[in-house]
C-alpha cells in the first residue's frame, strides 16, 4: 500500500531481510559514497543469514517526505545520484510503478551477469513437412542499451564466443530445467542461438506448446565475467563498439564468454545469483553493499587482507610488480650518475639516496680525490734535488771536476767523508786526519 505522507523508493525486496532488523534514520550515507539529505529517511535492515552483531545493515528503501519532496523531484534526485531502485511509489499512489520509472526486477538486479532482451524467442524455420521443434533465441542486436547495473552497456560482437561447441538452452537460467541444445550460433549482425527442443523433457514440450499459442517469452543470456573483459568507460569518455560510440559512464564487454541462453518469462528466476558474481566483484573492484557500507575506520591495514582478500592480493601483486620496476629504474638512474663507482651505487641503494643525492656525493668524492692527488704531487716535488743547491752540498763533487773528486779543491769535511767512503784510502792512511794532512801537506 502507498504511504500517505511519503514517496517510497524500494532499493531491495524486504523479503531479503531479517524482519526484526529494520530501523529508520533521517539522512546519512548509503553505499559508502551517496549522502542522503535529512529530509529523506533511510530504511535499514540486515540481510537474512547475517546474524552477527558486527555485520553492517544494508539500505532497503528511501522515504521522501511529501512536505519537502514532490514525486518528480524525488525521482530526479535518485537519477542524479545514481541510486538504483526496483520500484517507486508516490505518496498516496495506488500503483507501485509510475509511468516513466525504470522496470527493474529483483531477480535481474541480483545478477548483473544476466542480460535480457524481451520478446525475442521464436520457432526457427523448418521445412513445412516437419513439426516445429527448433527454437531460435535472438539474444543481442549489437546496440547500446541501458542496464540497471552497468549503466550504458554493449557487447563487442566481434569478440563474443561460446563456452562449448554445443551449448545449453535453459529455462530462466536454472541448470535443472533444460529445454534445448544449441548447435548453431552466429554473433553478427545479431547474436542468435538455434537449437532443438528436448523431446524427452516435459518442460521443453510445455514451453514449445505455449510458444505455439503465442506466449511472449523473453530471451536471456548469461556470460562468464571471470573469462570476459569488462571495459569501464568513465563519464566524459567514449568507447567504440559495433560501429557505435558508447559515451560513459558505461561498460563494454569484450571477449564475452557465453555460458548459456535461456527462455524466460521475465528475465531471470529469483535467487540465481552466481558464485562468479562474488568473484568478479572483487576482481573488478566492485564491492557488494555489505562492504561498501563499511566506514573507513572499520577497514584498516590489519583487517584489509581478511575483509577484502581478492583486492588485497591484487594490490599486493601490482605493488610488487611496480616496486620491482621502480627498483630497476632507480638502479639505472644511479648507474647513469655514478658510472663505474660500484661502491657509491651500493651506498646510495642501501641509504635510499636519489640520483640527485648520488650526483652530489660523487662530486664530493671527485673533489677529495683531486685534493689528494695535488698533495701527493706537491710532496714529490719537494723531494726532488735542486741542482743549484746540490752544487754546494757536503757530498757534492768539487766544482769543475765533471763528477770526479778533486782533493785539492775539497773542504776538510768533504775529504773526511771521501776517506770514510774509500777503502783504498783507509788502507793507505791510518785515519781521516792523516789523509787530510797528506792532502794539505804532500811530501816533497
For the chain, report the end-to-end CA distance as a whole number of angstroms. Answer: 159
- Give me 248's grid cell: 560513459
The pLDDT value recorded for residue 2 is 67
Which of 182-186, 346-350, 375-379 has the lowest average pLDDT?
Answer: 375-379
Which comes out higher in pLDDT, residue 186 or 380?
Answer: 186
pLDDT at 417: 92
Evaluated on CA atoms 282, 288, 294, 295, the torsion sign reads positive
User: Distance (Å, rounded) from C-alpha 95 to C-alpha 9?
Assistant: 13
Three-class SS state of 262: strand
Q: Which pLDDT score is estimated for 291?
A: 38
Which residues 6+ apart lie within 8 Å of 45 measured at CB? 14, 17, 18, 21, 22, 23, 57, 58, 60
Domain boundaries, the chain: 6-103, 114-292, 302-384, 390-440
Predicted local confidence at residue 29, as pLDDT: 85
Strand partners, 6: 65
pLDDT at 281: 37
Position with higher pLDDT, 396 vs 3: 3
Q: What is the mean pLDDT of residues 86-115?
A: 55
pLDDT bucket at 148, cuts 50 / 70 / 90 = low
- Helix, strand, or coil (residue 21): coil
Using the predicted structure, report yes or no on whether residue 378 has a pLDDT greater than 60.
Answer: yes
- On the CB side of 60, CA atoms within 13 Å amount to 20
Mean pLDDT for 184-203 is 93
pLDDT over 50 (residue 94): no
Q: Which three cell numbers stand for residue 290?
A: 555489505
Q: Is the pLDDT of residue 228 over 80?
A: yes
Q: What is the pLDDT confidence band of residue 7, given thresholds at 50, 70 and 90?
A: very high
Q: Is the pLDDT of residue 239 over 60?
A: yes
Amino acid at each position: 500500500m502507498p504511504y500517505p505522507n511519503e514517496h517510497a523508493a524500494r532499493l531491495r525486496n524486504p523479503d531479503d531481510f531479517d524482519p526484526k532488523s529494520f530501523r529508520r534514520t533521517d539522512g546519512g550515507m548509503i553505499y559508502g559514497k551517496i549522502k542522503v539529505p535529512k529530509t529523506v529517511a533511510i530504511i535499514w535492515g540486515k540481510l537474512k543469514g547475517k546474524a552477527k552483531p558486527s555485520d553492517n545493515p544494508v539500505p532497503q528503501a528511501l522515504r521522501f517526505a511529501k512536505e519537502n519532496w514532490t514525486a518528480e523531484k524525488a525521482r530526479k534526485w535518485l537519477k542524479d545520484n545514481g541510486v538504483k531502485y526496483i520500484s517507486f511509489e508516490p505518496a498516496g499512489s495506488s500503483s507501485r510503478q509510475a509511468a516513466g520509472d525504470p522496470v527493474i526486477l529483483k531477480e535481474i538486479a541480483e545478477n548483473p551477469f544476466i542480460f535480457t532482451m524481451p520478446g525475442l524467442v521464436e520457432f526457427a524455420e523448418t521445412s513445412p513437412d516437419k513439426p516445429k521443434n527448433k527454437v531460435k533465441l535472438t539474444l543481442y542486436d549489437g546496440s547500446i542499451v541501458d542496464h540497471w547495473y552497468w549503466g550504458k552497456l554493449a557487447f563487442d560482437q566481434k569478440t563474443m564466443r561460446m563456452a562449448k561447441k554445443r551449448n545449453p538452452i535453459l529455462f530462466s537460467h536454472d541448470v535443472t530445467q533444460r529445454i534445448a541444445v544449441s548447435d548453431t550460433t552466429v554473433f553478427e549482425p545479431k547474436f542468435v542461438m538455434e537449437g532443438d527442443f528436448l523431446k524427452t523433457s516435459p518442460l521443453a514440450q510445455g514451453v514449445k506448446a505455449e510458444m505455439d499459442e503465442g506466449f511472449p517469452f523473453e530471451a536471456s543470456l548469461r556470460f562468464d565475467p571471470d573469462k570476459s573483459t569488462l571495459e569501464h568507460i568513465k563519464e566524459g569518455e567514449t568507447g567504440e563498439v559495433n560501429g557505435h560510440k558508447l559515451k560513459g559512464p558505461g561498460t563494454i564487454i569484450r571477449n564475452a564468454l557465453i555460458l548459456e541462453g535461456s527462455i524466460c518469462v521475465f528475465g531471470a528466476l529469483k535467487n540465481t545469483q552466481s558464485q562468479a558474481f562474488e568473484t568478479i566483484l572483487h576482481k573488478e573492484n566492485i564491492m557488494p553493499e555489505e562492504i561498501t557500507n563499511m566506514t573507513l575506520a572499520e577497514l584498516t591495514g590489519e583487517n584489509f587482507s581478511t575483509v577484502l582478500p581478492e583486492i588485497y592480493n591484487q594490490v599486493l601483486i601490482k605493488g610488487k610488480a611496480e616496486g620491482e620496476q621502480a627498483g630497476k629504474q632507480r638502479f639505472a638512474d644511479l648507474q647513469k650518475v655514478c658510472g663505474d663507482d660500484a661502491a657509491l651505487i651500493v651506498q646510495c641503494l642501501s641509504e635510499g639516496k636519489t640520483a640527485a643525492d648520488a650526483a652530489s656525493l660523487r662530486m664530493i668524492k671527485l673533489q677529495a680525490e683531486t685534493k689528494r692527488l695535488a698533495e701527493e704531487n706537491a710532496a714529490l716535488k719537494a723531494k726532488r734535488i735542486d741542482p743549484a743547491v746540490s752544487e754546494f752540498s757536503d757530498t757534492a763533487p768539487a766544482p769543475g771536476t765533471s763528477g770526479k773528486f778533486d782533493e785539492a779543491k775539497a773542504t776538510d769535511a768533504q775529504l773526511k767523508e771521501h776517506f770514510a767512503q774509500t777503502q783504498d784510502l783507509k788502507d793507505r792512511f791510518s785515519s781521516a786526519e792523516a789523509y787530510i794532512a797528506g792532502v794539505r801537506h804532500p811530501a816533497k
